[in-house]
């Protein structure tokens, strides 16, 4: 089962919080942690991943904190989750740029996994941080159960 961990979900919440305060300048991670009801230590570990991928920048000093490196409309959910989670491929053989599985030419399930990977990737790339921040997320029912 494809599952986004709490790290990925909290990374999105952290980024949405920063987008919400984008006009306020740098934001204290302690304030974000309090608003999101997540421990500061856990937020620090997530922030380090976002900093490494240059999705946010930090400033020091009395009015220091964290802020987005670009406009909220220029971030996709995919890139934020990828920064927090690492590879989002549904199966290991698609986790790297080159599929080196010895069964790739005869695997009857590979096309299905490739299709799922494309669907998930395209779906997550179709949502921007700005859309989430503004609440412009479509609620669609995809299951008849």
Tens-digit pLDDT profile for residues 17-61: 999 999 989 999 999 999 999 999 999 999 999 999 999 999 998
6-87+129-134: CATH number: 1.10.10.10
Confidence tier at 137 by pLDDT (50, 70, 90): low
Mean local confidence (pLDDT), 2-8: 90
Q: Nearest 5°: CA angle at 135, between 71 and 74?
A: 20
pTM for the predicted model, two decimal places: 0.88
Burial of 134: CB neighbours in 10 Å, binned 0-12, 13-18, 19+: middle
94-123 pLDDT, tens digit each: 988 888 888 888 999 999 999 999 999 999
Query: What is the rounded average pLDDT of the residues 132-143?
Result: 64
Q: Are 114 and 104 in contact (CB under 8 A)?
A: no
């Amino acid at each position: 089962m494809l599952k986004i961990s709490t790290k990925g979900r909290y990374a999105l919440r952290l980024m949405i919080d920063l987008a919400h305060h984008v006009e306020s300048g740098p934001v204290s991670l302690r304030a974000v942690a309090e608003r999101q009801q997540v421990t500061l230590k856990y937020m620090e570990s997530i922030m380090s991943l976002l900093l490494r991928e240059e999705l946010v920048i930090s400033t020091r000093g009395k009015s220091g904190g964290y802020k987005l490196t670009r406009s909220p409309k220029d971030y996709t959910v995919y890139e934020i989750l990828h920064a927090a989670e690492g590879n989002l491929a549904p199966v290991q053989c698609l986790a790297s740029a080159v599929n080196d599985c010895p069964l790739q030419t005869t695997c009857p399930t590979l096309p299905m996994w490739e299709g799922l990977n494309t669907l998930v990737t395209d779906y997550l790339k179709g949502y921007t941080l700005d859309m989430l921040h503004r609440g412009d997320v479509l609620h669609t029912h995809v299951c008849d159960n």
